Structure 1
Amino acid sequence: MSESTALWRGRSGSFRERAEKLVAAMTLEQKIAQLHGAMETIDIYALSAQAAQSGADMDQLAAQIRVERHVPAIEELGIPRFRITNGPVGVGMGDGTPSPPATSLPMTIGLAAGFDTDLAHSYGDIIGAEAATLGQHVLEGPGVCLHRTTIAGRNFEYFSEDPYLSGVMAVAVAQAIQAHDVIAMGKHYVVNDQEYERFRTNVEVDEHVLRELYLLPFEMLVKDGRIAALMSAYNRIRGVYATEYRHTLTDVLRTDWGFEGYVQSDFWSCRSAAPSLNAGMDHEMPDAKWLNETNVKAALQDTSLEIETVDRALVRRYTQMFRFGQFDRPYEPGQIDAHAHGAVARAIGSQIAVLLKNDGGMLPLNRDVGSIVIIGQSAFVDEACLGGGGSSKVLPLYTVPPLDGMRNVLRDLGSAATVTKVTVADDLSNLDQARNAATQADVVVLMAGLVATEGADQPDANMLNDQNRMLEVLLRINPATVVVLKDSNPVLMPWIDDAPALFEVWNQGAEDGHVVADLLFGVVNPSGKVPTSYPRSEDDTLYAGRPERYPGTDEGDGYPVIRYSEGLEIGYRWFQAQGISPLFGFGFGLSYTTFDITDVSVDAPDGVRTTVTVTATLTNTGSVAGAEVVQVYLGLPVPGQPPKRLVGFRKVLLEPGESKQVTIVIDAAATNHPFGVWDYATRSFVTKPGEYTVYVGNAADSTPHTATLTVG
């Protein structure tokens, strides 16, 4: 290490000061070389078209960029090779040859169903530990765009339809990742809520809607999570590409929120050199399509770009690298403890599954049942359902298929039950074989679902390959039949009345087989809650008959324009505001035991100006241990606001007959602005006068306890 290099690699000065010293020592060519990734430039649009024409999916496309997720080192300056790995559902496509395998975790939508920040921290801890072990510097996640529609291709990477739940869970994940000195990168900033025409779409959204819904989880990541990086989205916002939109990249992110990290483009979302850097984007990935020597030098020459702006972009990234000690860390990839991390994945998976229906207490199944048959299409019965197509997909260290998992769990329970499997062809050509097997078995477990993918939204909310017809036929044969759904998104269920018992276990990842069996046989009591509402039909959605809301219309500019004209009414807010009853509403979830919420009180000594403390007694009134989520919602006395917004929750584990006092504090100054609405005049969140209603219960549409607070 040279004497000059020691100036920024030593411990003297702040992280930013050291970054500034480093940038001051760089030549212009070195600076430009550090503004972008090292992949050889390709035409992503041509490649996407080729993939579509050939039938290749995003996994095949992503495989071509598997080993190029880095910025080259500059050894004479002590700048390491900057290694970037995808997320957010585990360590995805990292920099390495080949991309290193890791623990395949449940999808993020499933994690949100846990309604448990401790669970989210465990999830992020696995991701951060494995990224560090594999020598990666950046983990591209968590993703906090909202589930505006149930058919969006990347909902599996995002948490929920609610900004507070998404934000508080994402903060826990990000903090756990960064505790391992790995940069967490929130994405996709912002309103990347659909995959349809994502390279072209323009989103038109009112400022108060943007602030109160879609920006809110990002604000929480910045302020509460101290996240080091954000990834800018593909789409346009109000006619300007997200990578060039100064309002979100600078005015909101830095002026309003005080963000000190850096902004990376999504892969090929950068559309320019000078406009992107001037707006506040700092780093182009995965190549130098725009931030190359020719473009940057030309922009500096014609003064559309200043060298100080280039320096600013590098200082922002290097500051975070110094913050996490990444300049001093040798590249020494280690071995992941697959067994230990798999056990954590199994524990997480068992706590996020949602028991949606259990007529007559059919579940849990008796471990002494004679014979069980698992029936479903190959994606759901032959292998563990890893889920999530596209660049975030994890190369698993191992997997537990459904048949193996159920046999293992039954063996551990001392059961002599036999388990067989029938794989139904995607065209249902062997449905008679499945019928016969269902007739002969003591218990039938039907597995079905949906694996969504980056790059494409679903045509509708139905499961693919005629699975609804498969279930309609098979549910009428054996009364001892359980449906296990393995979904990336909520789905329509026209067969629901014929299903006596129904689980949503999501795309579980590596431990799929064990998790499902643990739940079915009561080794674990389910405690998940619905994070995104299930509509009864497509007609009940906010975009039904409204193409301007989705998929957008061409208003004369040649690209689709999506108008968020529903305002603040998405998810459960939409259903409640419209008086529509969902099939399964936000926050709903059954258990193998029962609970009672009593003695609810609301203490607000200063109205809603400081803190409001909600207390309640939660009692397990059933015969087995289980966990319930006490949820607090708020109704605001402001025109245009939906009936309720989630402002607090707490998950509590209780033994049979046990009671605990639950306390949930709603802080008026919290980053989710629980009592606030966006005020156009002051450009800030304000609390309006009127009567605020506090709702307490165990789901958005089950809040029997209320209290009123008055603001003069």
Structure 2
Amino acid sequence: MTQAPSATEAAVEAALARLDLDMKTRLLAGQDRWSLPPLPEIGLKSLVMSDGPIGVRGVRWSADDPSIALPSPTALAATWDPGLAHRAGVLLAQEARCKGVHVLLAPTVNLHRSPLGGRHFECYSEDPYLTGVIGSAYVKGVQSGGVGTTVKHFVANDAETDRFTVDNVISARALRELYLAPFEAIVENAHPWGIMTAYNAVNGTTMSEHHYLVNEVLRGEWGFDGFNVSDWTAARSTVGAINGGLDVAMPGPRTVYGEALAQAVRDGKVTEATVDKAVRNVLRLAVRVGALEGAEPAVTELPDTVNGVELAREIARRSFVLVKNDDNALPLKPDGTVALIGAAARDARVLGGGSAAVFPDRTVSPLDGLTEALPEGTLSHAVGADPNTELMPADKGFALRAVCRGADGTVLATSPLPNGQIHWSFADLPEGVSFDVLREVELTGTFTPRLTGPHTLGIKGKGAFRLAVGGITYYDGVQAPDEDDPFEGFFSSPQPRAQVELAAGQPVEISLTHIVALGDYLREDITITLAHQEPRRDPDELIAEAVEVARAADTAIVVVATTERVESEGFDRTDLRLPGRQDDLVRAVAAVNPNTVVVVNSGSPVELPWRDEVAAVLLSWFPGQEGGAALADVLTGAREPGGRLPTTWGSLTGAPVTQVVPVNGRLAYSEDVFIGYRAWDKAGRTPAYPFGHGLGYTDWTYESVAVDGDVATVRVRNSGDRPGREVVQVYLSPVEDDADRPARWLAGFAAVEAGPGETVEAVIDIPRRAFEVWDEAADSWSFVKGSYNVKAGRSIADRGITVTVDV
């Protein structure tokens, strides 16, 4: 049940009338990394925000406060299922309430403009329509649980290189038809309670001060009535930000708002009426999430409880995209022997790097999942080739705790650590500890190696450190940060500081001590990591061992993966190759076992130069904490792979849009409206696997398509021998060639299910916007009349069936 808007507005106005200028401006500035200050004078609680989008971190970025880890956003989009996205949102609202979080900093609905974008795993698709549909369902799901969302990053944060300063130069048409389109759809269909503005500038104006896009388009044209929060540290000007429509500057306690904003009003640089508009938006959020006493929240009846483990597994298996399956290599044959190969099969990568990361309390690897699913004695494993060439956070074999000490060495608190990472701000220090007295943090405990040989240990973070192993000090010095990047401590590579010969199974004492210095880039913040790398074996020997294991099995399954240094927030990619010797590994295994299946564990496209040499290729994205269990479901045939590609997969040499590095601070979107499949079509190039592609374990025959008004009805038949699910896709293309428009574009889709031999109908709405273009001269949408081919098929490249309509 939702509250009448008039009641919300009355509560907002009543609360606003009780605030003086200093209280108003204080409310618009973060009090710490994650929250706004309470105002007990009006019964306002502190509003707490938390990163997403695959889980709810809470205010503590620590593995001792675990969260459900769902599959990556690219995986969620690959399901082509808004109902599943809605359920994911409901679960995340449930998680948020448990962690005391009012607002989830998600979803990310920037587009896959170029395959080199480092953060694409956190976005949905190259297509604005698919992004808008999935994003709308996600937002509705979260907010149905009484938790707000902040749709981000508004707008055109489509790459990471120089993201704090880059000026993206984009035509009005490309902005409207591509980059603004998902935001517009979500505002119209899901009514989000928040928007996050991006670091970058658009056409000369930084987004945290962009009066036109925020005040005139977002709020004016679209009617958005939620709050607008800066990306963290993005707000740089008091007057520019408040007049540009930015409501909240994060993080705190020192921002361009608060006292600075109050003084700007007193100096006549900003009107108090402008401040009042921002305060209304924050108070409206407070009412909606139940943080203002005496006002009924937007949601008074919560959804039913969701089992997070089960949903994570369901989304994963529904997201897996089977792009190749020669001679029905999958599902696996009963009672056959299986060689599972790859470092990522043992140590799964289930999520991307950066602010999207959470800490699940369990992770099911492919080796775990298949060991559980297959008969005993039928599964063998070999590492083959390890893509991790850098140190990773200390994890397996480490038993650690954090010891906090004062200036005189007194122990203030001791806290268990599930791994070697600490991300502490004011709000999440151990009980009894404050930055006023904290002077030293020691990560200490034991490490029991699983391999004998030289182990490398290192440090990520800035400041003074001392690293000791077995009582011997290997490093005592200061790591200097890159002052140009305020998030260097989060996203930089660990620095190797010790190499120690250790014996498998023999515990050794570990100690990493950090001297706390106040005044860090986030003012009061500790971000440090104890990192580790196992002994490196000769890659040729590892590949040779894997070949022998594969030779002896009926089926070889090779799991290949990217690493955190390939796909993460904070930097873009330089190529699309798999790291390390993984391509060599696949080729070597395929040469001795014709029944080789490759599972690709990446959040966004990678090149697959061996794809013609293997029997099957299954894309598993970053599959979340239950990825290994879901993979076993699909490989054994207990479940069908349900995914379809939300973005085009091809080589870097074939990709039409590859420029992500600014020139003199500016990045020209010179391709205009031609990105993704639109660009591949325009260039006349054929990708490895087209947008929308995906196979199942049954076959489908498209029998007819009819269009009546704005509805397409597509009749399909399951022509295979087992039940299945099909994603029926509808594309529009003008009958008359038009060089200024894409050759074809997604207009709608729907999923159907049927048993063997059954016929079903997919009923698909075709929105008016599918026939419109942005007229730059008129500064408005223009409906383009004429004849259109309406094609229904299994992907954008599938011939399917077509009917011509005149509009």
TM-score by length of 1: 0.86
Alpha carbons 1:385, 1:512 under 8 Å: kept: no
Alpha carbons 1:92, 1:391 under 8 Å: kept: no
Q: Deviations over 1:653-676 (max 9, x none)?
A: 1111111122112132xxxx1111
**Residues 111-150 of structure 1: matches in 2 within 5 Å?**
111-150=76-115
Q: Determine if the alignment matches structure 1 residue 600 to structure 2 residue 705.
A: yes
Query: Corresponding residue for 1:652?
Result: 752
Q: Distance in 1 between matches of 2:660 and 2:4?
A: 52
Letter in 2 for 1:149: S
Alpha carbons 1:648, 1:666 under 8 Å: kept: yes
Name which of 253, 257, 282 aligns with 2:222.
Answer: 257
Query: Corresponding residue for 2:323?
Result: 356
Cα distance, 1:277–1:111 mapped onto 2, change above 3 Å: same
Q: Determine if the alignment matches structure 1 residue 443 to structure 2 residue 543.
A: no
**Residues 108-257 of structure 1: matches in 2 within 5 Å?**
108-257=73-222
Q: Determine if the alignment matches structure 1 residue 571 to structure 2 residue 676.
A: yes
Alpha carbons 2:249, 2:257 under 8 Å: kept: no
Query: Corresponding residue for 2:22?
Result: 29
Query: Corresponding residue for 2:10?
Result: 17
**Residues 279-678 of structure 1: matches in 2 within 5 Å?**
279-328=244-293, 340-369=307-336, 371-377=337-343, 380-410=344-374, 417-422=378-383, 424-426=385-387, 428=539, 430-451=542-563, 452-535=567-650, 537-544=651-658, 549-554=659-664, 559=665, 561-604=666-709, 612-636=710-734, 639-668=739-768, 673-678=769-774
Cα distance, 1:621–1:375 mapped onto 2, change above 3 Å: same
Q: CA deviation at 1:277?
A: 0.8
Q: Distance in 2 between matches of 1:293 and 1:214?
A: 32
- Which secondary structure does the structure 1 equivalent of 2:770 belong to? coil
Name which of 100, 104, 116 aligns with 2:65.
Answer: 100
Computing the radius of gyration from Cα coordinates, the structure with the larger value is 2
Query: Corresponding residue for 1:682?
Result: 778
- Which secondary structure does the structure 2 equivalent of 1:224 belong to? helix
Q: Distance in 1 between matches of 2:305 and 2:633?
A: 20
Q: CA deviation at 1:99?
A: 7.4
Quick one: higher RCO (CA 8 Å, sep 6+), 1 or 2? 2
Q: Distance in 2 between matches of 1:12 and 1:645?
A: 37
- Which secondary structure does the structure 1 equivalent of 2:190 belong to? coil
Q: CA deviation at 1:238?
A: 0.7
Alpha carbons 1:462, 1:491 under 8 Å: kept: yes
Q: Distance in 2 between matches of 1:417 and 1:95?
A: 42
Alpha carbons 2:338, 2:557 under 8 Å: kept: yes
Query: Corresponding residue for 2:536?
Result: none
Alpha carbons 1:140, 1:185 under 8 Å: kept: yes
Alpha carbons 1:35, 1:291 under 8 Å: kept: no
Q: Determine if the alignment matches structure 1 residue 276 to structure 2 residue 381.
A: no
Cα distance, 1:244–1:339 mapped onto 2, change above 3 Å: closer
Q: CA deviation at 1:710?
A: 2.4
Alpha carbons 2:788, 2:805 under 8 Å: kept: yes
Query: Corresponding residue for 2:231?
Result: 266
- Which secondary structure does the structure 1 equivalent of 2:13 belong to? helix
Q: Deviations over 1:623-671 (max 9, x none)?
A: 1111111111112465511011111001111111111122112132xxx
Query: Corresponding residue for 1:43?
Result: none
Q: Deviations over 1:246-297 (max 9, x none)?
A: 1111111011101111110011111211101101011011124433444213
Letter in 2 for 1:23: L
Alpha carbons 2:117, 2:660 under 8 Å: kept: no
Q: Distance in 1 between matches of 2:129 and 2:549?
A: 46
Q: Distance in 1 between matches of 2:54 and 2:6?
A: 36
Q: Distance in 1 between matches of 2:34 and 2:360?
A: 19
Letter in 2 for 1:172: A
- Which secondary structure does the structure 2 equivalent of 1:566 belong to? coil
Query: Corresponding residue for 2:431?
Result: none
Q: Distance in 2 between matches of 1:11 and 1:292?
A: 32
TM-score by length of 2: 0.77
Q: Distance in 2 between matches of 1:481 and 1:13?
A: 62
Structure (1 or 2) with the greater strand fraction: 2
Letter in 2 for 1:631: Q
Task: Report the more deviating stretch, 695-704 or 196-205.
Answer: 695-704
Q: Distance in 2 between matches of 1:271 and 1:170?
A: 29
Alpha carbons 2:72, 2:603 under 8 Å: kept: yes
The number of equivalent residue pairs is: 643
Letter in 2 for 1:38: Q
Q: CA deviation at 1:338?
A: 11
Q: Distance in 1 between matches of 2:545 and 2:37?
A: 56
Identity over aligned residues, as a percent? 33
Which sections of structure 1, spanning at least 5 residues, go unmatched? 1-9, 40-67, 331-335, 605-611
Letter in 2 for 1:468: D
Cα distance, 1:436–1:134 mapped onto 2, change above 3 Å: same
- Which secondary structure does the structure 2 equivalent of 1:539 belong to? coil
Cα distance, 1:303–1:23 mapped onto 2, change above 3 Å: same
Q: Distance in 1 between matches of 2:224 and 2:733?
A: 30
User: What's the RMSD between the two structures over aligned residues?
Assistant: 2.3
Alpha carbons 2:351, 2:357 under 8 Å: kept: yes
Q: Distance in 1 between matches of 2:38 and 2:362?
A: 33
Letter in 2 for 1:341: G
Q: CA deviation at 1:11?
A: 10
Structure (1 or 2) with the greater helix fraction: 1
